[in-house]
Amino acid sequence: MAEFSFRAVGHPRPQGSKRHVGKGVLVESSDVKTWRSTIVDAAVEALAGRQPFTGAVIVTARFSFCRPKSHYGTGRNQHRLRPSAPDYCTSRAIGDADKLGRAVLDALTAARVYIDDSQVVRIIADKGWCDRTVREGATIVVTPLEAVDQRAVPVQVDGAA
């Protein structure tokens, strides 16, 4: 089966741990539910009747975030980045790459891109700034492992190559 890719447009949200609210009740952020729903909708539309992956897959997710206004100058420099603007998305408010990826994996399961997220044997997640002409979101690629030359991607387990 060939590689599958799509773009989900919206503000990426991390899927962290659930919060205990008492009497054995755990609650997760409503923000992540909206983001997962956005991913599911985009994936289902892009799938267009395609069957789910049944074997091992690699998931690549590239998250793009709009820079805050504070990264830009003022007045006639309002379209120029300040020299102090960070190159990388390291703000705690944006979230960890692994928790952003967790939301994607669960959404891909819900969209039936694959049967279960246990099929994911490799995750590549990165986050970056997008310019003002691009909407924030995520570009997601699911690649079946048989489509990848395993000799080109060495993985070491228990000291063996």
- Span 9-21, pLDDT tens digits: 999 999 876 665 5
Looking at residues 89-105, what average pLDDT do you find? 91
pTM attached to this predicted model: 0.82
| Residue 158 included in any domain | no
| Residue 63 included in any domain | yes
Structure token digits, residue 139? 């570009």
Q: What is the CATH number of the domain that holds 80?
A: 3.30.1330.70
| Residue 53 included in any domain | yes
| Residue 64 included in any domain | yes
| Residue 72 included in any domain | yes
Q: Domain range holding 108?
A: 4-152
Cα separation, 29 vs 25, whole angstroms: 13
| Residue 128 included in any domain | yes
Q: Is the pLDDT assigned to residue 156 strictly greater than 70?
A: no
| Residue 108 included in any domain | yes
Please say whether the beta carbons of 27 and 56 come within 8 A.
no
Q: Which residues pair with 126 in a beta bridge?
A: 62
- Span 16-39, pLDDT tens digits: 766 655 666 655 566 899 999 999
151 alpha carbon, distance to own chain's centre: 26
- Span 42-63, pLDDT tens digits: 999 999 889 999 999 999 999 9
Count of structural domains within the chain: 1
